[in-house]
Amino acid sequence: MSAGPLSSRYRTAFITGASTGLGLAFSQMLLKEGVQVWGTARDPGRLPACAGFHPVRLDLADGDRTEAAFREAERAAGGFDLVINNAGFGVFGAYAPTEFEAWEEQFRVMLVNTARLAHLGLRGLLLRKGGALVNISSIAGEFSLPYQPVYNAVKAGLSALSESLMYEVKGTGVIVIDFRPGDYRTDFEGSVRRPDQPGLDPLNAGRMARAWTAFEKMMRSGPPPVHAAQRLRSALWRGRSGTVRSGRFFQAVLAPLLARCGSLALKRRVQETYYGL
């Protein structure tokens, strides 16, 4: 099933957050497959300089500029066969003590403007009657991470958006992939924002410290990003819409399977134990 280069199906790709981690690994995999890649970062100096890679400056915090950057890249590429919404970041904190601006920015970058790119990308793909829209969600959309409430919310929202679009693209030649990674060893944990928490109560301060230790440990012991890139390659080659979970066996296979058999309350209790709460 995985024989042949992806470039026989996808000539051009647009990918956000291509400077590090999963986005860089996805870009490198696509370049190796002969795909021309338009990859973004807020500072294009952080992007790879190599044949077939076209750097794009893009900050998802600004919706209008995001749209302009996408349209310019689309014109230069002559259209995209593959659009990957990958960029994202974490905000770690208790919901009430953290100023809402921090949460609002995460909603804007990772849901509102990511959905805007999905909208633009899908319009182009439908016009071309082929290609793929890939939204990088997270297992966190179904197994909430403690003290990352809006991260969980945006990922659940993005997965719901992808699932809805799967109905719409049926029979059009376009596919939509809801890609849900578990913990991978990337720069993610290092770039998690930890805003001030004025008025945080001692009970939550203790729980937060334990949750952070567990989160760090899991991120650092996760598989390398190249593993996720191989999973994405297989999904793109398969050429069918669907949800793809990727990561350690426990997170990507066993936990979702067990969760289907148990209650939501039990799922929360298991998460509490997992994160030392």
Ligand X SMILES: NC(=O)c1ccc[n+]([C@@H]2O[C@H](COP(=O)([O-])OP(=O)(O)OC[C@H]3O[C@@H](n4cnc5c(N)ncnc54)[C@H](OP(=O)(O)O)[C@@H]3O)[C@@H](O)[C@H]2O)c1
151 an active-site residue? yes
Question: Is 222 one of the binding residues for ligand X (CB under 6 A)?
Answer: yes
What are the start-end ranges of the E strands in 100-248? 131-136, 174-181, 242-246
Name the residue nearer to ligand X (CB basis): 7 or 14.
14
> CA Rg, the chain, in Å?
19
Burial of residue 67, with CB atoms counted within 10 A of its CB: 0-12 exposed, 13-18 middle, 19 or more buried: middle
Point out the residue whose Cβ comes nearest to ligand X. 21
**Bridging pattern class, strands 82-85 and 53-57:** unpaired
CB of 106 to ligand X, least distance (A): 9
Q: Please say which residue, 7 or 142, places its beta carbon nearer to ligand X.
A: 142
Instruction: Pick the closer one to ligand X by CB: 85 or 197.
Output: 85
Residue 198: phi and psi, rounded to 5, are -60, 135
Asked if residue 142 binds ligand X (CB under 6 A), the reply is: no
88 belongs to the binding site for ligand X (CB under 6 A): yes
- DSSP class of residue 34 equals T
* Residue 46 found at the interface with ligand X (CB under 6 A): yes
Taking residue 101's Cβ as centre, other Cβ atoms within 10 Å add up to 9
> Given 10, 95, 147, 151, which residue is catalytic?
151
Pairwise CA distance, residues 109 & 89, whole Å: 9
List the one residue out of 14, 162, 167, 166 whose CA is nearest residue 87: 14
| Number of chain residues interacting with ligand X (CB under 6 A) | 31
Q: Which of 7, 12, 27, 86 binds ligand X (CB under 6 A)?
A: 86
12-41: which residues touch ligand X (CB under 6 A)? 16-17, 19-23, 41
Footprint on this chain of ligand X (rule: CB under 6 A): 16-17, 19-23, 41-43, 46, 58-61, 86-89, 109, 136, 138, 181, 183-184, 186-188, 191, 219, 222
Catalytic positions: 151
